[in-house]
A and B are shown apart, each in its own frame.
Chain A
Amino acid sequence: SAVISQKPSRDICQRGTSLTIQCQVDSQVTMMFWYRQQPGQSLTLIATANQGSEATYESGFVIDKFPISRPNLTFSTLTVSNMSPEDSSIYLCSARGDSNQPQHFGDGTRLSIL
């Protein structure tokens, strides 16, 4: 099964700043995703990171706020832009092969905005 490394594991940021989260998978994968988990809530899909093209965003999430890159089959980044306290959440990277394979998750990035 794929091993997914995320960094940073946590950060405390000032409002108005931006932070980029990195996700590295130990093998080539077909699909990579970014999720958000707000305090006390379930996980919500932000976007699907597409290799070599623009990410596919879910309703309620926009590229200007959450720009995503995926330059190859093992690496992706998520930037949280112009942060506000409402962005305080855990952000999780996820990856899998084909749709009939299990999906795996990184340990998450715990982000607090002051």
Chain B
Amino acid sequence: GIQVEQSPPDLILQEGANSTLRCNFSDSVNNLQWFHQNPWGQLINLFYIPSGTKQNGRLSATTVATERYSLLYISSSQTTDSGVYFCAVMSNFGNEKLTFGTGTRLTIIP
């Protein structure tokens, strides 16, 4: 099945810093989503972005499908941004399943 790797695995930043999270995948995809899992375990949809670039406030994402990677940018980090960020993809090859990456644990220090 499709492999999804995220980097870095852990990231500790000062409040106000910017960060870039990366998601690499091993096959062509027709669905890619970014999620934020908050400290209470809730999984929040950030972006549905199988290709192109999207922005939502301090967050933006870019997927370069031909090169099989996606990036999530967080600007002016706040402590509420802490948690685990997951990339999840669905392969083009018909299995209709969303496969999750390994996650990046982000800790924002006041």
Contacts and interface: CB of A to CB of B under 8 A. Distances in A.
A105 interface: yes
B103 A102 contact: no
Contacts, number: 50
A100 B103 CA distance: 23
Interface residues of A, number: 22
Interface stretch (B20-28, B55-63, B66-74, B91-99): B91-99
Contacts of A90: 41
Interface in B1-56: 30-31, 33, 35, 41-43, 45, 48, 50
Interface stretch (A14-22, A42-50, A63-71, A76-84): A42-50
Interface residues of A, dominant DSSP: strand
A108 B37 CA distance: 11
Contacts of B88: 43, 103
A107 B41 contact: yes
Contacts of A45: 97-99
Nearest to B49: A102
Given A42-B100, A102-B48, A105-B45, 15 more contacts: A31-B96, A33-B98, A42-B86, A42-B101, A42-B102, A43-B43, A43-B100, A90-B41, A100-B30, A100-B31, A103-B33, A105-B35, A105-B43, A108-B41, A110-B41
Interface of B: 30-31, 33, 35, 41-43, 45, 48, 50, 86, 88, 90, 96-103
